[in-house]
Copies of this chain bind each other. A is one copy, B any other.
Amino acid sequence: MDSKSFGQIFRITTFGESHGPMIGVVIDGCPAGIAISETDIDAALALRQPGRSEFVTPRTEADKAKICGGVFEGKTTGAPIAIIIENKNVDSSKYEAIKDLLRPGHANYAYLEKYGVYDYRGGGRASARETACRVAAGAVAAKILAQHNIITSAYIKSIGDIVADIKLENVEQLKQDTYASQIFCPDQKAAELMMQKIRDIKDQQDSIGGVVEFVINGLPTGLGDPVYEKFDANLAKALMTIPGTKGFEIGEGFKAAQMQGSEHNDLFITENDKITLQTNHAGGVLGGITTGMPVTGRVAFKPTASIMQPQVTVDLKGKEQTLQLPEGSRHDPCIAIRAVPVVEAMCALVIVDALLLNKTVKI
């Protein structure tokens, strides 16, 4: 229930399958008066578009958003905003040959067990194509964040064992450097190594995992609710719903588990007559509520499940088979890369929802 919705006030509901006629998203609870256009949304969609570089899947659909409700004379009206994206360039025929095979690392077995059926065409509902809807909704959310001078940047922190060295100081610059990179990694030196790594991986007909880091600047204090609606817990859920995620960290994350209190505690100081924190080990939250410091964290992505190597598996009857993806199948060698704008979008959704909810806390 509500399995296709996210958020409490600013709430999105997505629909559509990878190889159906369209995918779409309905955004409920968006305040009235926000200027938004299809161009804004298309610009966001272009970032996660396949075929952006040799390091992502070459599929060349041209995602175009169509706003079907909730916007009047260029501004939101308070009514639900509906955005649809047609599925073009869809050819389900090549999935016919493997439709009865369980695909390692994929959800078709799980769907079958749950629902008694699965839509095998291009992954159906389980396809990462659904994330285009998140990016579209994130583009609307970003409009609201811009009004509050909140800026979010996500980027590749590591691919395999290659780790980028990134300074968090200037988020605006970070964002530009990220988008300028073919693989969304603002550290050019690391990016070179990563790209070489990906070429190798592709040669091996294999795939590789990666880590996406995010930083959110300009957040007011007080976002997030105590106990069960902590800001970081909601971020964790939001980001763990992105296909392929295996881990989430806030602030120091797992490193915090190796630290001592005297080392991890961020001390309160007064700077320019304003209370702030000397360090930011916590990653911008205390007790689940934002402190005004940048919110930072990381998400781990597994290697792409679809690989061109033959893999042993079974069919629906349990008989052993070999899965060989059809010649010309198009898959990302590293899903973390195209996940970057999705992480950014999910952060935006969590923030806007928390901003709106926070308006109800005081009379």
Contact = CB atoms under 8 A, between A and B. Distances in A.
Nearest to A34: B363
Interface string A324-363: 0000000000001000000000000000000011111111
Interface string A19-36: 011111010110111100
Interface residues of A, number: 150
A336 to B, nearest CB: 7
A93 interface: no
A315 to B, nearest CB: 9
Given A116-B33, A246-B252, A291-B109, A130 B240 contact: no
Query: Which of A78, A114, A229 gathers most chain B CB within 10 Å?
Result: A114
A260 B303 contact: yes
Contacts of A226: 3-4, 78-79, 107, 111, 125-126
Interface stretch (A46-54, A174-182, A262-270): A262-270
Interface stretch (A10-18, A56-64, A164-172, A188-196): A10-18
Contacts of A253: 246-247, 300
A314 B125 contact: no
Contacts of A314: 268-270, 275
Contacts of A265: 104-105, 305, 307, 311
Contacts of A119: 72, 77, 79
A288 interface: yes
Contact of A14 (B4, B33, B106, B227): B227
B221 A105 contact: no
Contact of A282 (B29, B34, B105, B207): B105
A2 B234 CA distance: 13
A2 B29 contact: yes
A258 interface: yes
A144 B79 CA distance: 28
A313 to B, nearest CB: 5
A286 interface: yes
A250 B249 contact: no
A209 interface: yes
B6 A1 contact: no
Nearest to A223: B114
A160 interface: yes
Contacts of A247: 247-250, 253-254, 256-257
Contacts of A290: 110
30 contacts: A3-B28, A4-B79, A4-B80, A5-B11, A5-B13, A14-B227, A20-B69, A32-B361, A78-B111, A79-B124, A104-B265, A107-B226, A110-B291, A111-B287, A113-B221, A113-B291, A115-B222, A115-B362, A206-B260, A208-B261, A232-B240, A233-B237, A236-B237, A246-B251, A247-B253, A247-B256, A249-B300, A256-B300, A261-B307, A270-B314
Given A33-B116, A105-B264, 20 more contacts: A3-B225, A3-B229, A9-B357, A16-B68, A22-B69, A77-B115, A77-B125, A113-B291, A115-B362, A130-B227, A207-B262, A209-B260, A210-B257, A236-B240, A246-B251, A256-B300, A256-B302, A265-B305, A267-B311, A270-B318
